[in-house]
Structure 1
Amino acid sequence: MKLFSLPSADDWLHRIIQQERKMNHPVKGIDHVFLLVSDLDKASERYAELGFTISPRGLHSEAKGSANHTIMFPDDYFELLGLLRKTPGNAGRFEALERMGEGLHAIACRIDDAGEAAKALSDLGISTEGLGSFERPVPLPDGTEGVAAFSTVAFTSEKVPFGTVFMCQHRTRETVWLPELIEHPNSACGLNAILAVSKNPQQDAEAFANLWANSVVAKTPSGAQIQTGKASAVLELLTPKALKETYPWLDMSNLPKGAFSGLRINVQDLDKVKASLDAAQIAAHPTTQGLAVAPQDACGAIIEFVMK
């Protein structure tokens, strides 16, 4: 006869605390990511050559001294962020670009309300900083100009093993998810995974997992993976050896130091990806899942295209 042991009081308490944490945690997944690039014009040209539909340039405030182009999908997106001039407000990003190099610097998380998220996370013992709001003009299809408005708040650096992770509240989704920006010549349709190299993937994965309400950490042959929420890209951490084995053509010196390594993008047709790359004479490296572009050809990020 097989005997089953009941959970101890400590086990029950731990489960209750974890369940309460998930219920009260305000961060529901990954909203978007951004590549910090050295030359925004060249970056937008290159990503158009990779087969993406690029939004018109969005100019940020004088204080931010930056601009961006977005690459939109139905549920998420990524952006190319460029620094136009030095200001007191962007000194940190200029320093990061010089020290770390261009590439995938940041993950932005889904929240409903930035102020409420900061309070809820504080109640859970998770520190944040930099709560604020900003707007940028958006050219609209009818020739008029709209406004894209956001509120953001960041996790403090001690909560994030590497890179930057912040939260983004969209106050005007209708001016960001424009229908004409969602269709791409390469058939891209969403973020599949954010890739990163880690010498201690399990330890780093457990730390990253605290940043999302419904995160699940799984050990993998190459390191560790964090599921970040429903309809949300995973964060995949690979050891340096595993990253090199996965992408044997990779020159790791072309990746940003202390940030993220690249993106895995869902597509509907790999032949369309290959056609875009061939037309631009960009090397397409076969992988076990699809096709990839080296970081020196994609502004410091591995870009891998996989079938959805």
Structure 2
Amino acid sequence: MNPTTAADTHPLDHLVLPTQSLDVARARLAALGFVVAPTGIHPFGTENCCVFLADGTFLEPLAVGDEQAAMKAIAEGNVFVARDRVYRDSHGDEGFSAVALATGNADADHARYVEAGLSAGDTLSFSRAFTDAVGKSDIASFKLAFASDSNATDAFLFACERVNAPKVDRTALQAHANGATGIVEVVAVSGRPAEQHRLISVAVNDPTASGQGGAFHLPNAILSVFDPASFTARFGLPAGAPTDLRLAAVVFSVRSADITARLLAANSIKHDIAGNNDIVVQPASGQGAAFIFREIQ
């Protein structure tokens, strides 16, 4: 295979947050100060209500809208739906199951994953309607390639190729009252952090990544893997049950920590301060990960 360079390292695309109910997720995310997009329907039984950020990343709260269609998709080898089902069976309907990485060639990523012995299954191509804040619709098309270590069953990573980007205006969907402008860090917990380095380096297409200090530097964000004690020390949050790899927290950049804190207080959202004045909101129904708001000028 051709050698890769730092320029080939995949950026963060989006995060998958399973939830039992999109209505609950929408209400919770709105209370946190986010604008939530209209519901998107997948052709294989799942549905989402995304939160789009100005840096091009987004959150994907994911629910099962059509159980029969989802079961059919699993039987036909749909890795996305199958991994969602495995996650829900193990952890319940609320959580943080996957990190999606942006790619221009999902087929090439799939080939790399297979060669490394880290493929989670066949690629997946699909399209769905996308509607912006004023009701304008277009078709979004994607191709996904999946990576997972057999020992890391609590989380997976996948490459997401946007085959057709919808021609709609997302500006209104990115104007969040809490001041969030992007995702600066994704935080995972592992009882054996060093053993996750190969999976992550292959998934992000950076074979030279060392994960020094548990941090993998993507072009637009950091993916950090902490041992349980370090995670708790940094964020003041419980690390949870032992795991090889579990996604635990999302760090957002905000324009003003004061504005964010006032909004959370006004909406009766309990929050704490950790580290260098990070605003920490623990997971709740409709919010499967800890949300951490960090002022970045």
TM interval, short-chain normalised: 0.7 to 0.9
For residue 48 of structure 1, what is the aligned residue in structure 2? Answer: 30
* Identity across the alignment (%): 21
Distance 1:83 1:272 in 2: 34
Deviation at 1:244, TM superposition (A): 1.9
Confirm whether residue 134 of structure 1 aligns to residue 126 of structure 2.
Answer: yes
Deviation at 1:126, TM superposition (A): 5.6
Distance 1:49 1:55 in 2: 14
Kept after mapping to 1: 8 A contact 2:129/2:138: yes
Alignment RMSD: 2.9
Q: TM-score, structure 1 length as denominator?
A: 0.81
Kept after mapping to 2: 8 A contact 1:132/1:152: yes
Read off the aligned partner of 1:271 and give its amino acid letter: D
For residue 199 of structure 1, what is the aligned residue in structure 2? Answer: 191
For residue 76 of structure 2, what is the aligned residue in structure 1? Answer: none
Distance 1:197 1:52 in 2: 26
Confirm whether residue 38 of structure 1 aligns to residue 32 of structure 2.
Answer: no
Say which SS state the counterpart of residue 233 (structure 2) adopts. Answer: helix
1:71-126 deviation digits (Å, cap 9, x = unpaired): 11223111111112323224552342131232110011111022243235556776
Confirm whether residue 93 of structure 1 aligns to residue 89 of structure 2.
Answer: no
Say which SS state the counterpart of residue 265 (structure 1) adopts. Answer: strand
Distance 1:54 1:255 in 2: 33
Read off the aligned partner of 1:44 and give its amino acid letter: R
Structure-to-structure mapping, 1:118-267, within 5 angstroms: 118-119=110-111, 122=114, 127=119, 129-140=121-132, 143-158=135-150, 162-175=154-167, 178-214=170-206, 216-220=209-213, 224-228=214-218, 230=219, 232-248=220-236, 250-253=237-240, 259-267=246-254
Read off the aligned partner of 1:158 and give its amino acid letter: S
Closer/same/farther in 2, CA of residues 26 and 161 from structure 1, 3 Å limit: farther
Read off the aligned partner of 1:39 and give its amino acid letter: S
* Stretch of structure 1 that moved more, 94-103 or 65-74: 94-103
Distance 2:244 2:110 in 1: 28
Closer/same/farther in 2, CA of residues 255 and 133 from structure 1, 3 Å limit: farther
1:126-157 deviation digits (Å, cap 9, x = unpaired): 64632121111122455443211111111244
Deviation at 1:199, TM superposition (A): 1.2
1:14-50 deviation digits (Å, cap 9, x = unpaired): xxx9xx5324996522211110112221011101111
Unaligned runs of 5+ in 2: 74-80
Distance 2:194 2:169 in 1: 35
Closer/same/farther in 2, CA of residues 243 and 116 from structure 1, 3 Å limit: closer
Unaligned runs of 5+ in 1: 1-16
Kept after mapping to 2: 8 A contact 1:205/1:225: no
Read off the aligned partner of 2:282 and give its amino acid letter: A
Q: Alignment length, in residue pairs?
A: 282
Deviation at 1:193, TM superposition (A): 0.9
Distance 1:128 1:23 in 2: 24
Deviation at 1:160, TM superposition (A): 5.6
Kept after mapping to 2: 8 A contact 1:26/1:117: no
Distance 1:254 1:53 in 2: 32
